[in-house]
């Protein structure tokens, strides 16, 4: 969706809270203990408690809670690094993508940090449909 996100995989909640405060992030969690912390209850740090086990319902809750626009700038930043992606020509990526991709795709983008190449393949199409559906569901609420 083009929003800057960070997956915290450590086990020290306080470390995550420090990062969130420093980088002005919102914590999205299923951990009730985090919601009870003073830094959250006081409103100093915004946190969203995810209620569902289903990934689709989880993203729906985040979209609704933060009033996100699913289609504002989809596929504009790297999934791994949050870096804005740069357009690349077919020639520039020719030796870095599988031959069948090169034959069928004409638009490519590259992450300037990890140099991962993205193209509008089946994953992109599936995600686009999903985002469209999220948007439709939200506008019918």
Q: Give the closest residue to 141 by CA, choosing from 63, 82, 43, 74.
A: 63
Nearest distance, CB of residue 117 and Zn ion, angstroms: 10
- For position 70 contacting Zn ion by CB under 5 A, the verdict is no
Residue 39: count other Cβ atoms within 10 Å of its Cβ.
16
Residue 94 or 113 having the CB closest to Zn ion: 113
Nearest distance, CB of residue 57 and Zn ion, angstroms: 28
Residue 74: count other Cβ atoms within 10 Å of its Cβ.
16
- For position 81 contacting Zn ion by CB under 5 A, the verdict is yes
Q: Which of 1, 27, 78, 109 binds Zn ion (CB under 5 A)?
A: 78
List Cα–Cα distances, 58 to 28, 55, 81, 86, in angstroms. Answer: 10, 5, 22, 30
Q: Which of 80, 92, 107, 136 binds Zn ion (CB under 5 A)?
A: 80
- For position 59 contacting Zn ion by CB under 5 A, the verdict is no
Residues forming the site for Zn ion (CB under 5 A)? 78, 80-81, 111, 113-114
């Amino acid at each position: 969706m083009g929003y800057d996100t960070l997956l915290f995989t450590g086990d020290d909640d306080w470390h995550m809270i420090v990062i969130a405060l420093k980088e002005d992030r919102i914590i999205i969690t299923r951990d009730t203990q985090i919601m009870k912390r003073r830094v959250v209850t006081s409103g100093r740090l915004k946190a969203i408690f995810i209620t569902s086990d289903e990934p689709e319902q989880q993203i729906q809750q985040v979209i609704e809670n933060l009033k996100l626009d699913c289609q504002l700038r989809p596929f504009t930043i790297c999934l791994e690094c949050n870096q804005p992606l740069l357009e690349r020509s077919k020639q520039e990526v020719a030796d870095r993508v599988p031959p069948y991709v090169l034959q069928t795709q004409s638009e490519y983008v590259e992450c300037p940090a990890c140099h991962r190449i993205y193209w509008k393949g089946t994953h992109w199409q599936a995600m686009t449909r999903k985002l469209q559906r999220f948007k439709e569901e939200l506008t019918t609420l």
